[in-house]
Structure 1
Amino acid sequence: MAASGLQHVAAMYAGVVAPPLVVGAAVGLSAGELTFLTGACLFTAGLATFLQTLGVWRIGARLPFVNGVTFAGVAPMTAVAASVEDKSDALPVIFGAVMVAGALGFLAAPYFGKAVRFFPPVVTGSVITLIGVSLLPVAFGWAQGPDPTADDYGSRTSLGLAAATLLVVLLLRRFTRGFVKQIAVLLGLVAGTLMAIPLGVTDFGPVASADVVGFPTPFHFGAPQFHLAAILSLCVVMVVSMTESTADMLALGEIVERPADERTIAAGLRADTLGSALSPVFNGFMCSAFAQNIGLVAMTRIRSRYVVATGGGFLVLMGLCPTAASLIAVVPRPVLGGAGVVLFGSVAASGIQTLVRAGLEKDNNVLIVAVSLAVGIIPITAPGFYHAFPQTARIVLDSGISTGCVTAVVLNLVFNHLGRGRADAGEVTHPMEAGEDLAAAPAR
């Protein structure tokens, strides 16, 4: 359980520490304050993961679901920081906006949960495929190195390390059994890191400079401040985050063969939003589901939520012990990239499996999938496609998962629900379409 939980941490660590590093640099934090902010985000990610996996009352999906700092909020948070005259007020303004957005999202969670009826397999399959495809460029970027401006970015050494790590993972998955096979990604990361040492790619500096013990003091950077423009901007991010979390829960539900119903989605969104509202108290940012860990569940077939809760425990410990947190930072980015190809590709493959059951022999469903995937891939293949739109609109438009999800839902309504489209669809693709109450539907 400990090894499998640590594997989840290794898969999502880079995604957790990237937002505080970017935002911290934007507000001009010192090296010590930046380390503190990163540790705080790890700590709050662990608490949010506990809330999601173990659950309290009607809060938490109780699925093997990892929560952490969402990257969707980085651009608006840096924009907020740039708009504040006194940089010392930037983080308090951001924290205040996150708290309000989280509280409003918590109240809206039950209504978001009702949207599950609009996610039959033709929609969920398209969205799950987009999640995997959208994450693959992240893995490709990791494989090239940590700094796009460096001379060795994309060098043969970096790409070779990524390829070697991928090869180790594939060999372990092919020729081992049982526990070793289940932790193939973790072993691949260890092997890749060891291979990187003689090449001079591994940096042990973070371990040497980190403190042994540290606690994210509440409101370390000052009491939260509430500015309307910042609140509106982060509320838009919250809507995007809730949309992506809904898609992620549907994806994970398919993978673990426990389809996420209306009640599960509402509970999961409550955990997301409550975690976001409480995170700024300990100097963290908005929390959301991590899709890369869904790929890990799909590949290892370890479906226990307690394994992921163990990973949440490691995140809390890392937040309390900066030295422990720095150990994961030792893993070179190209090594993470090699493992990421397997993880993120597994998510896309799960989406394709769902589409197989979506009735693609019908022209309407083929059209829904084709257009949804095309719209969702726009931000990946043409990053500047929406450059003429306002920044607030680009928060949504630059997320291929969000735009593809909205497109799939709308097209499914038009072709399979309105007018003759519903009759042409031929078969019921979701229990809600037959008037069945999902809460009363038997578990698969």
Structure 2
Amino acid sequence: MISLRRGGSRAQVSDRPEDEKLPPLRTTAYGLQHILAMYAGVVTPPIIVGGAVGLSTAEMGILVSAALLVSGLATLLQTLGVWRFGAKLPVVIGISFVPVTAMTAIAEDSGLPVVFGATIISGLFGLALIPFMASLRRFFPPVVTGCVITVIGLSLFPVAVGWIMDNGSGGEPATGNLALAGATLVIVLVLARVLPGALNKLAVLGGLVLGTAIAALFGMADFGGVTDGPVFSLGQPFYFGTPEFQIAAIVTMCIVMLVILAEGIADILAVGEIVGSKVSSRRLADGLRADVSAAIFGPLLNSFPGSTFSQNVGLIALTRIKSRFVVAVGGLILITLGLFPILGRVVAAIPMPVLGGAGLVLFGSVAAAGIRTLAKVNYENNLNLVIVAVSLGFGIIPIAAPEFYETFPDALAMILHSGIVGGFVAALVLNLCFNVLGGAGGQEQHDEYEAGGTTASQEAAPGEGSSGRG
């Protein structure tokens, strides 16, 4: 912290990039941009699970509103922090995709109350495990974090492609979808190039708005459902019944929680690397507690486990807007969408191909940030190149061949099916074997990183904090 004396009083000014406070209008616009980038990801898990158990439209609306409300509350906890909950980083928490398959199976066999009960216990299990998970922080030099960030970006590309294809319309993507996604991509690139000053940070938001307008002109956007349903709703706790606790469901969800924690570690470290702020073991633990909190209080409001959203990591890398208060405003927007379902229905009207076109830029920015980190790794007289090669290979396997792990035991397949977790585990284990236990070359790099050396994101912004723009 830097102390400044003004008019006889002492004001505290943080030297951390994430503590920057922007003008209210810009903060709100950037926060809205974050929510538009991740909205589809928040509402998709409840739609999938609710559809599997045959919920009515009204009941589905309750699940979606609860997901938005819980995501907003968890995001506020993560960005602002309360006691030991929250990393105070620009991190968005949304409803996790990881447990969707497990929750769907449990819900079909035993009902939603069993899903909610197992989710609560898995959250408490994760909370107890966090100190151990966070203690692994010292084993994450740039060769590990760089691999993980790169894999996160690569793993998200199928999401963007799915949006362009309108999430599984089947077969080849429609020509209209390709044209709409391409137009959105071009708009984002043009706005990023021509908008002056801070306005070019809103290129993604502009692309989403103008892309939706183009879709409406050609009849590809449907706003007819905006008026269906209530305008305002406070939610209905335990709407689907009191949580029930079954051993098999609890064990399954605890295994899922391990995956969520592993992804949380990767994403929080990625945000810290991109922002240029050191993430200590304690801070990592605080961030994981905020992640897990959604699993503990979410079921009380008819929602599911949450996790850090990788989509928003790309937005930070692209815009270089690092303020956690921007994301906190995004959390408030999510809460508002949850309390005013009609606003959520407006946002839901954005066509999927429009989201896909913008997603190509966002997710590519994540991968680029990882490559930038890997460029700082020392590859001389060590096996760091092998670590990168194998880790990226494990990360790409589920992308190249989604069915690759189908013959594995269910628990193992559930974990390895996430390329992020596969790349994360491979990088962590190989770094331990080759650098920490088996040689000094990589250890020197590890020690430099732990001592608070310059991060890739700090060196990759020439002109920030200097006399010119990079």
The two structures have a TM-score, normalised by structure 2, of 0.88
Aligned residue number for residue 375 of structure 1: 394
Which deviates the most, 306-315 or 208-217?
Answer: 208-217
Aligned residue number for residue 24 of structure 2: none
User: Shift of residue 431 of structure 1?
Assistant: 4.7
Matched, 1:122 2:143: yes
Contact 2:162 2:168 (C-alpha < 8 Å) held by counterparts: no
Matched, 1:402 2:421: yes
Amino acid across the alignment from 2:293: L
- CA pair 432-297 structure 1, distance change in 2 beyond 3 A: closer
Contact 1:173 1:181 (C-alpha < 8 Å) held by counterparts: yes
Contact 2:378 2:445 (C-alpha < 8 Å) held by counterparts: no
Aligned residue number for residue 466 of structure 2: none
CA distance in 1 between counterparts of 2:276 and 2:449 reads 18
Which deviates the most, 104-113 or 306-315?
Answer: 104-113
Aligned residue number for residue 423 of structure 1: 440
Contact 1:216 1:320 (C-alpha < 8 Å) held by counterparts: yes
Aligned residue number for residue 139 of structure 1: 160
Contact 1:121 1:430 (C-alpha < 8 Å) held by counterparts: no
Amino acid across the alignment from 2:113: P
3-state SS in 1 of match to 2:260: helix
Contact 1:117 1:432 (C-alpha < 8 Å) held by counterparts: no
- CA distances 1:372-430 after superposition (whole Å, capped 9, x unpaired): 10011101100111111222221101011101110111111111122xx3234373334
- CA distances 1:270-302 after superposition (whole Å, capped 9, x unpaired): 111122211111111001000100111111111
Aligned residue number for residue 12 of structure 2: none
Amino acid across the alignment from 2:158: P
CA distance in 1 between counterparts of 2:165 and 2:383 reads 40
CA distance in 1 between counterparts of 2:314 and 2:82 reads 26
CA distance in 1 between counterparts of 2:443 and 2:219 reads 61
User: Shift of residue 205 of structure 1?
Assistant: 2.5
- CA distances 1:124-180 after superposition (whole Å, capped 9, x unpaired): 10010000000011001111224424x8x6111101110110111111111112232
CA distance in 1 between counterparts of 2:179 and 2:385 reads 39
Contact 1:61 1:264 (C-alpha < 8 Å) held by counterparts: yes
Matched, 1:56 2:82: yes
CA distance in 2 between counterparts of 1:284 and 1:341 reads 29
3-state SS in 2 of match to 1:68: strand
Aligned residue number for residue 229 of structure 2: 210
Aligned partner of 2:178 among 140, 159, 168 = 159
Amino acid across the alignment from 1:80: I
CA distance in 2 between counterparts of 1:349 and 1:332 reads 26
CA distance in 2 between counterparts of 1:165 and 1:13 reads 17
Aligned residue number for residue 267 of structure 2: 248
Aligned residue number for residue 14 of structure 1: 40
Amino acid across the alignment from 2:116: F
3-state SS in 1 of match to 2:407: coil
Unaligned 5+ residue runs, structure 2?
1-26, 453-457, 459-470
Amino acid across the alignment from 1:422: G
Which deviates the most, 224-233 or 421-430?
Answer: 421-430
User: Shift of residue 363 of structure 1?
Assistant: 4.6
CA distance in 1 between counterparts of 2:422 and 2:168 reads 29
Matched, 1:173 2:192: yes
User: Shift of residue 210 of structure 1?
Assistant: 3.0
Amino acid across the alignment from 1:188: G
CA distance in 1 between counterparts of 2:447 and 2:315 reads 27
Contact 1:188 1:339 (C-alpha < 8 Å) held by counterparts: yes
CA distance in 2 between counterparts of 1:145 and 1:199 reads 16
Amino acid across the alignment from 1:239: L
Aligned residue number for residue 314 of structure 1: 333
- CA distances 1:66-124 after superposition (whole Å, capped 9, x unpaired): 0010000100001112322xxxxx11100001101111111221221111111111011
Amino acid across the alignment from 1:69: I
Q: How does 1:312-391 map to 2 (within 5 A)?
A: 312-391=331-410
Matched, 1:66 2:92: yes
How many residue pairs were aligned?
427
CA distance in 2 between counterparts of 1:395 and 1:52 reads 26
Matched, 1:108 2:129: yes
Q: How does 1:204-283 map to 2 (within 5 A)?
A: 204-283=223-302
- CA pair 73-28 structure 1, distance change in 2 beyond 3 A: same
Aligned partner of 2:118 among 97, 100, 108 = 97
CA distance in 1 between counterparts of 2:380 and 2:31 reads 41
Matched, 1:289 2:308: yes
CA distance in 2 between counterparts of 1:160 and 1:19 reads 27
Matched, 1:299 2:325: no
Contact 2:185 2:357 (C-alpha < 8 Å) held by counterparts: yes
